[in-house]
C-alpha cells in the first residue's frame, strides 16, 4: 500500500470491504495492475482509505473503507476494475474471500 | 494463523473485528502470547474464525469473525485476553486500529 498505512480518523458508520486472498506463484502482471488499481480506487467517490498486507508466501488481506454501499457498488462496476477482477480470477488468485461489512464503531491505541 | 488460513462458509449476518497494527521492534514475549491468545479465542462461544497476516516490517492485519456483538464483548472482557491487551499497549504495538463491523454479505472465488 501507499505511504500512509493506517486508515485513520474515520467516523462510523461506514463500510469495509475485507478481501482475503492467496496469490498464485509469480507476478504475471499483478504488481503493476495492483498499483494502478490502488491509485484508481483512491480517486473514487466515497473512498475513505485502505489497509493492506501480504506475507512473503502470498497470503494477503486488504481492507478498503467506503462511505456507503453505493460507493462500493460503483467501484465494483468500474470498467478498469472489472478487467482487474476478471484477470484476478483467471491468473492472480488461487482463492479469495470478499466480505462487505458495516463498521459500527472503532477505537485506536495505544 | 493456524493451519486453515481462510475463514470459509460463514453465513451473514455475522460480525468482524478488524485489528490493524504496527508492531514495536523485537519479540518481547509477543510470539508466545499471540499463539496462546489465538488458541484461546478459538474456544470462545460465538467464535467463527480468523484470518491474519503480518509483513516482515511488522505491519499486520487480523480479522476475527464472531456470531454476535455479545460474543465480541465477552472475549474483550476475558481475563487472560485483558492481560494481553494491556501488554500490547505497553510493549507490543506502536499503533493499532480496531473496528467492529457487521458483515452483510460475502462471496468467494475464483
A2 pLDDT higher than 80: no
Q: Smallest Cβ distance to A110: which of B89, B100, B105? A: B89
Q: What is the pLDDT of residues A54-91, one digit of tens each?
A: 999 999 999 999 999 999 999 999 999 999 999 999 99
Tracing cell 475464483 back to the chain, one arrives at B110
Second-level CATH architecture of B20-103: 2-Layer Sandwich (3.30)
Domain spans of chain A? 15-103
Cross-chain Cβ contact A6/B20 below 8 Å: yes
Cross-chain Cβ contact B110/A89 below 8 Å: yes
CATH 3.30.70.100 fits A15-103, yes or no: yes
Q: Smallest Cβ distance to B60: which of A53, A95, A99? A: A53
Contact B61, A61 (CB under 8 A): yes
Find chain B residues with C-beta within 8 A of A6's C-beta. 20, 22, 95, 97
What is residue A83's predicted lDDT score, i.e. its pLDDT?
Answer: 94
DSSP letter for each residue of chain B: --S--S--S--SSEEEEEEEEEEPSS-TTHHHHHHHHHHHHHTSTTEEEEEEEE-TTSEEEEEEEES-HHHHHHHHH-HHHHHHHHHIIIIIEEEEEEEEEEEEEEEEE-
Cross-chain Cβ contact B108/A98 below 8 Å: yes
Q: Model pTM?
A: 0.94
B1 pLDDT higher than 50: no
B2 pLDDT higher than 50: no
Amino acid at each position: 500500500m501507499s505511504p500512509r498505512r493506517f486508515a485513520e480518523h474515520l467516523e462510523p458508520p461506514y463500510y469495509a470491504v475485507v478481501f482475503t486472498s492467496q496469490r498464485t506463484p509469480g507476478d504475471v502482471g499483478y504488481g503493476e495492475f495492483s498499483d494502478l488499481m490502488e491509485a484508481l480506487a483512491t480517486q473514487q467517490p466515497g473512498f475513505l482509505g485502505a489497509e493492506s498486507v501480504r506475507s512473503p508466501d502470498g497470503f494477503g488481506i486488504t481492507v478498503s473503507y467506503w462511505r456507503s454501499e453505493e460507493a462500493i457498488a460503483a467501484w465494483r462496476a468500474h470498467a478498469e476494475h472489472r478487467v482487474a477482477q476478471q484477470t484476478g480470477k483467471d491468473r492472480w488468485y488461487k482463492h479469495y474471500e470478499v466480505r462487505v461489512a458495516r463498521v459500527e464503531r472503532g477505537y485506536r491505541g495505544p
